[in-house]
Structure 1
Amino acid sequence: MNQQENKKNAIAFYKMAYEGNPKEAVKKYLGNQYIQHNPDVADGTEGFIAYFDRMQKEYPDKSIKFVRCIAEGNLVALHTHQTWPGNDEYVTMDFFRFDEHGKICEHWDSIQQIPKKSANPNTMY
């Protein structure tokens, strides 16, 4: 298992899907099975593609920055900063499990909107 390769592929997969090409992302980076834990996205590849196609149609000007990428075993964690139209900003943490062939087969995430005011001067990313 190559953690550096998994990290590179997790970022490429998420970036490709987020920027509007989820079908190609699925073809290149997912294995035979894709287990989805985000309650807003249907399980499997078709649910993933439908969700990101809809997001691209509804929010074509969204953007994403990858802040951190951490790998342990067959898991990769991404810490991102997302900006959506209307200037809503979010911090997300996505976790991907890779199968024995180096393909993504499972996903979890946590999303938090960045508030306008904070009790401290530190960013959330």
Structure 2
Amino acid sequence: MTDNRAAFEKFVDVFYTKKRVREAFDFLVAESYVQHNPNIPDGPEAAITALTPKFDGSPDARFDIQRILVDGDLAMVHVRASYPGRPDAAVADIYRFANGRIVEHWDVLQPVPADAVHGHPMF
């Protein structure tokens, strides 16, 4: 896969929209996957194990894609994550590609506040 944008858009659809974690990771994530989230070990299997309950296992959860950015070997998705009974969260997931596969991941999460000090939306 040499077109990172097309591959990443498919990954985002399968992972965030359809919530099929294993299918998304099998499609695009390399065995050498490095995880920068401090709560998940390296490797695709560890990520699949940690993320499946949050995605596949949460039928009422929604992950609304706000924007996708791809620049060379880096890709980012900005997501509004909604779980019933919890405040929404703004999520930015950043991925690095090598040889057409995702090899590295960082994430940033922020709760969506009920009130902001300004009128700017988070999304």
Which residue of structure 1 lines up, in the alignment, with residue 43 of structure 2?
A: 44
Does structure 1 conserve the Cα–Cα contact (< 8 Å) formed by 2:4 and 2:72?
no
Does structure 2 conserve the Cα–Cα contact (< 8 Å) formed by 1:17 and 1:52?
no
Give the counterpart letter for 2:122 in structure 1: M
Shift in Å, 1:90 = 0.7
3-state DSSP of counterpart to 2:69: strand
Shift in Å, 1:87 = 4.6
Please identify which structure carries the higher helix content: 1
Deviations 1:16-54 (CA, angstroms, capped at 9, x unpaired): 334442211111111231111111222111111101222
Counterpart among 95, 98, 104 of residue 102 in structure 2: 104
Q: TM-score, structure 2 length as denominator?
A: 0.85
| 4+ long deviations beyond 6 Å | none
In the alignment, the residues of structure 2 paired with residue 79 and residue 89 of structure 1 have an alpha-carbon distance, to the nearest angstrom, of 13
Structure 1 unaligned segments of length 5 or more: list them.
none
State which drifts further: 61-70 or 49-58: 49-58
Structure 2 unaligned segments of length 5 or more: list them.
none
Instruction: Give the share of equivalent positions with the same residue, in percent.
Output: 29
In the alignment, the residues of structure 2 paired with residue 60 and residue 20 of structure 1 have an alpha-carbon distance, to the nearest angstrom, of 9
